[in-house]
Amino acid sequence: MEQENTFRPEWIEKYHVNTVILSDCVEQCEYLYQTERGTIYLCRPWRGITIWANDVSMSSLPCEIATTNYPFVKLNYCTSGRCEVLLENGKYVYLGPGMLSIDCNQPKEIFRYPTKRYEGFEIVFNLEELTKNPLSILEDLGIGLRRYEELIEHNQGSYIAEVSTDWDILARTMIRRLREADGRMEDFRFYSLQLLYLIGCGHTFSLKNVYITKGQRKIAEEVNEKIIGDLKHDYTVERLAKEVGISSSSLKKYFAIVYGSPISEYVRQKRMEFACRLLKGTDMSVGNVAEEVGYAHQGKFGNVFKKYTGQTPLEYRRRNRERSK
């Protein structure tokens, strides 16, 4: 890759640990914060425009951008997991699968990933570079920067939308090809132009009522800490809502926005994740594992576990130990 085409986001530099040049137009960049890791697969199809695929396994990453004039417009699309977007008005939005954010807000202090997992795709415009070196092809196709600026001007600096099936398929194809470095620069330019063009052709659908305040976010996080702090306990939404002093319907709404699933489903997922770790990493009996994750009856635990993993607890333990050997 030519040096002039190499670009890493400013927020990654402090935590950057390794870069692998995958092809003449794609590089794989790994970063580490404490014990958690993330990877991006970068390509710079034009001067002033960078694209990358995200693969994040962390709960948070400090963001230190030293500028008073933030020069970027970002398109951020989520395919799995969850990431937090803080708006200028102090409200929060959480991107989940199938959600697209177009914004010009400077990241504030830290990136957060509530489920400790995030995969997605970004197109980033550097306004300073594009002002100096305009891309006529964007204007020729009717997808110049003004179109995106209009969207965000009327949406508190961040346009949040769902996308069509066609847009999602194309984005996932781009992600796969970036990760595999499967393509020429011309291919990535063509995919980028298609994605940008489709945004202006009715392939995005604006989302409303997806914002929560700092206080509402804090309530959801407090409930999450209660849940994961004691997976043996059989929590009910009503009991949790009473403990944090709000209605059950409000708690359901705040929690689903932040963590992307109903509380009952989230509890079941966390219990099964913990059960998997116990079965792989300890010699604890299946009955004791069931008790540790809140099931009084081993049979019921076994049924739920098989639905979650496709295997019985004993099959799961055996197969994972065979792999480790």
In tens digits, what is the pLDDT along the chain, a chain of 325 residues? 333 444 677 778 889 999 999 999 999 999 999 999 999 999 999 999 999 999 999 999 988 776 667 888 899 999 999 999 887 778 888 999 999 999 888 877 788 999 999 999 999 999 888 888 889 998 888 888 777 877 777 666 678 999 999 999 999 999 999 999 999 999 999 999 999 999 988 899 988 778 899 999 999 999 999 999 999 988 899 999 999 999 999 999 999 999 999 999 999 999 999 999 999 989 999 999 999 999 999 999 999 999 999 999 999 999 887 776 6
Q: Among residues 255, 253, 275, 250, which one has the least CA distance to residue 266? A: 255
Structural domain of 234:
214-324
* Same domain? 92 vs 170: yes
* Same domain? 97 vs 202: yes
Quickly count: other Cβ atoms within 10 Å of residue 286's Cβ.
19
CATH number, residue 63: 2.60.120.10
Q: Among residues 303, 276, 307, which one has the least CA distance to residue 292? A: 276
* Same domain? 277 vs 245: yes
* Same domain? 240 vs 150: no
Q: Which of 190, 206, 222 finishes a domain?
A: 206
SS3 category, 81:
strand
Q: Which of 206, 228, 244 finishes a domain?
A: 206
* DSSP assignment letter at 47: T
* DSSP assignment letter at 279: H
Cβ 43 vs Cβ 90: under 8 Å:
no
Q: Which of 206, 240, 265 finishes a domain?
A: 206
* Same domain? 114 vs 131: yes
* Same domain? 154 vs 247: no
* Same domain? 195 vs 224: no
* Same domain? 125 vs 239: no
β-bridge mates for residue 37, sequence order: 32, 57
SS3 category, 60:
strand
| Counted domains in the chain | 2
State the virtual CA torsion across 164, 167, 169, 175 in degrees, nearest 10: -140
